[in-house]
Amino acid sequence: MTKPKNVLFIMFDQLRWDYLSCAGHPHLHTPNIDALAAEGVRFSRTYVQSPICGSSRMSFYTGRYVHSHGATWNRVPLKVGERTMGDHLRDAGMDCWLVGKTHMKADDEGMERLGIPRDTVIGARVEQCGFDVWERDDGMRPEGPDGFYDPKGAETYNTYLRDKGYDSANPWHDYANSGRNKDDPEEMASGWFLKNSRKAAVVENDDSETPYMTSRAIEFMAQADDTPWCLHLSYIKPHWPYIAPAPYNDVYGPEHVIPVVRDPREQQEAHPVYKAFMEGRVGKAFSRNEVREAVIPAYMGLIKQCDDQMGRLFQWLKDNGRWDDTLIVVTSDHGDYLGDHWMGEKDLFHEPSVKVPLIIRDPSKAADGTRGTVCDELVEAIDLAPTFLDYAGGEAKPHILEGRSLKPWLHGETPDWRDFAISEYDYSQKAEASMLAATPSQARLFMVADANWKFMHAEGLRCQLFDLQNDPDELVDLWDSPDHCDIIKLMYDRLANWAIRQSQRTTKSDAEILAKGSGSGGLGVVLGVYDETEIALPVTQFYRGKPRPGPSQ
């Protein structure tokens, strides 16, 4: 075939780039994802635009930097009017559906101000980040004294669980993400508490979140008609709570935990923001061996389950004629430190946090030459939306979509490409901002990474610099190295050039700009003309002779 008809855009949440056997993990065996890589391209340097779920996803979906779309952290609403891949793909004749998580927070104020009702197709799409919703499930059903994190979240899944007999006010937590205590088998052992990570979640594997979502995706694809579709299949796992159902809780043990990447020098000379994160509760917890030895095997088990579900999903595609007419993409919204660099979770720009897996299989003949290869070019999460639009046959929209189509790489071409990648992090809502007395406008970080260097700018503070060639583990911060002043200056220059880019003229394309010019000459605007002899007649015919009697148009 010349090009795939559909796009299956699979996202895991918090999946580290190197926790796949095809990316070199020595113990975690992911044969199904590996097989996809063997038939596609693995992009080994893919950076997310922010190492935090919500902002990263809004960049994936809009194809725009966080600095452009403004959803700077989780639950900062994506402003009404920002277009997403759904809008662009539908314009190109491709439907765009969601099964799973987006972390989208709708701009309620904007929708009300513009009079966009939610119970219309337009309103529902604005509210749901441009997707048509097969099932929205952010996989976030935490509950605390102030209520639910997401009051409407995951109710379909909870209803499913209850129908299956998991009786609870919140079976998402009480069964799918909790084990039971040994002493009293009716007492919950919550997956929120890291010591419980190795326990088996008291849910049947088939009823746990990853297989459930896979089933929902298959259900969508099975009923789809001939209209080309993009399906965003967006899993919550291996994201916390770190707890897996049997048998996955027990596939890996502490003996499979790869050595931690950290160095005491990191603590001694740490950048102030990095230091604040290291010294926070999460950093401290993940620096403890008992935490790592409990969490990492569970995390690996969750990934193993994900991989098995990929096997199931890919088999369905093969059995139903979709394997060869569907572009398949596997990625993640950010990584997980897992104790590396004295850190847990994500937030900063070390590779375990900001780099993600990206594997794309294009079934078309044009991609045969690249199957099984690894592409080391700098890829950004914002490249996916323009890639999908390219496959959908839509016109490129560089005045809106700031990423670039990856299709040339998949087809063995070598396009002009970026020299550096950008990521951003706004920590103004984190405790670390208070620790540093940073105002919201100060509590912002920017990464500039190129083939050899990774640089971080922190508003109001010193920078950070790592030599990726000679220090691939990013342990030695060269911010004050006299030998690296030129590199640091280059990085600041790149950041400035990037920051000043035109990102908001989204109502007019470069092509329209070039085609029209000022457009005013032919419309009778006559500037700098002393008399009629200085300008061609057609423009001036309206301005000579006697008044034409009115009225005109």
Q: In the complex with a copy of itself, which residue's Cβ is closer, 269 or 532?
A: 532
Buried b (16+ CB within 10 A) or exposed e, 482-521: eebeebbebbeebbeebeeeebeebeebeeeeeeeeeeee
Helix H or strand E encompassing 361: strand 358-361
DSSP state, residue 257: P
Which residues are paired to 41 by β-bridges?
360, 373
Q: In the complex with a copy of itself, which residue's Cβ is closer, 11 or 189?
A: 189
Q: At closest approach, how far in Å is the CB of 338 from a copy of itself?
A: 12
Question: How far is residue 245's CA from residue 302's CA, in Å, rounded to a whole number?
Answer: 8
Q: In the complex with a copy of itself, which residue's Cβ is closer, 26 or 530?
A: 530
Q: In the complex with a copy of itself, which residue's Cβ is closer, 242 or 466?
A: 242
Question: How far is residue 424's CA from residue 444's CA, in Å, rounded to a whole number?
Answer: 7
Q: At closest approach, how far in Å is the CB of 539 from a copy of itself?
A: 5
Q: In the complex with a copy of itself, which residue's Cβ is closer, 111 or 217?
A: 111
Q: In the complex with a copy of itself, which residue's Cβ is closer, 469 or 553?
A: 553
Q: In the complex with a copy of itself, which residue's Cβ is closer, 369 or 519?
A: 519
Q: At closest approach, how far in Å is the CB of 417 from a copy of itself?
A: 17
Q: At closest approach, how far in Å is the CB of 123 from a copy of itself?
A: 8
Helix H or strand E encompassing 108: helix 108-113
Q: At closest approach, how far in Å is the CB of 147 from a copy of itself?
A: 6
Which residues are paired to 200 by β-bridges?
244
Paired tokens of 483: 């030998």
Q: In the complex with a copy of itself, which residue's Cβ is closer, 431 or 485?
A: 431
Q: Is the dihedral of CA 180, 150, 350, 357 positive or negative?
A: positive
The answer to whether 70 and 424 are in contact (CB under 8 A) is no
CA 36 remoteness from chain centre: 20
Q: At closest approach, how far in Å is the CB of 382 from a copy of itself?
A: 15
Q: At closest approach, how far in Å is the CB of 376 from a copy of itself?
A: 27
Q: Where are the beta strands (DSSP E) in 112-185?
A: 132-136, 143-144, 147-148, 178-180
Q: At closest approach, how far in Å is the CB of 535 from a copy of itself?
A: 9
Residues 6+ apart with CB under 8 A from 61: 84, 85, 86, 102, 104, 129, 130, 385
